[in-house]
Amino acid sequence: MNTNETQTRNISQTIMAQSIFWSRWLQAPLYLGLIVAQVVYVYHFMIELSHLVVKANTIGETEIMLIVLGLIDVVMIANLLIMVIIGGYETFVSRLNLKEHPDQPEWLSHVNAATMKIKLSMALIGISSVHLLKTFINAEQMSEATMLWQVVIHLTFIISAIAMAYTDRIMTKNILDAHQDLKHS
């Protein structure tokens, strides 16, 4: 291969590598869309809260509990959105450079793709738990099949989270073992 062909190949590879690296910015509009979804959840929360306040004198304890669980559900979904927006952007798009910011979330300093998956699965388990509690409180209005499927789905979330955490533990152990082997050689 002559020098011109080598230079052309190097330029082509550089352009390809830069294009692939730049493509991470295609995810930025997705995170902006999730911010819009967060706004929708805040709006929904405020409507449900106003219903609770307006109806407080006319509804029973069970209905208050169901509305409050609905509010908790919205908050947990909003927390999930924040984890995905901030953690995903930081992990996959670009650094946020918040090192000195007093409001920087504690978990952001050690976030990576593996910890994001585990945090997200734990959030999904929490959200599923709230839904399951709402179902059990309102059991007389639910079919047995619906309740069974909600339990099965909840257990599936739990088993998936355990499997992801176990897999992450194995991978981390293998990386630590490899580093130890390099130190001793």
Show the domain range for 172: 112-185
Last residue of a domain, one of 110, 131, 156: 110
CA distance 50 to 71: 11
Looking at the structure, do residues 124 and 87 belong to the same domain, yes or no? Answer: no
Kindly report the length of the chain.
185
Last residue of a domain, one of 75, 94, 110: 110
Q: What is the pLDDT along the chain (185 residues), one digit of tens a residue?
A: 677 777 887 888 989 999 999 999 999 999 999 999 999 999 999 999 999 999 989 998 889 998 999 999 999 999 889 988 988 888 888 888 777 778 877 777 777 777 778 888 888 899 999 989 989 988 889 899 999 999 999 999 999 989 988 888 888 887 777 777 777 76
Domain membership of residue 131 (yes or no) is yes
3-class state of residue 165 by DSSP: helix
Domain membership of residue 125 (yes or no) is yes
Looking at the structure, do residues 106 and 129 belong to the same domain, yes or no? Answer: no
CA distance 33 to 5: 44
Counting the structural domains of the chain, the total is: 2
Q: What is the pTM of this model?
A: 0.73
Looking at the structure, do residues 102 and 143 belong to the same domain, yes or no? Answer: no
Q: What is the dihedral of CA 161, 166, 168, 171, to 10 degrees?
A: -160
Write out the two tokens for 124.
């999904």
Q: DSSP code of 59?
A: S
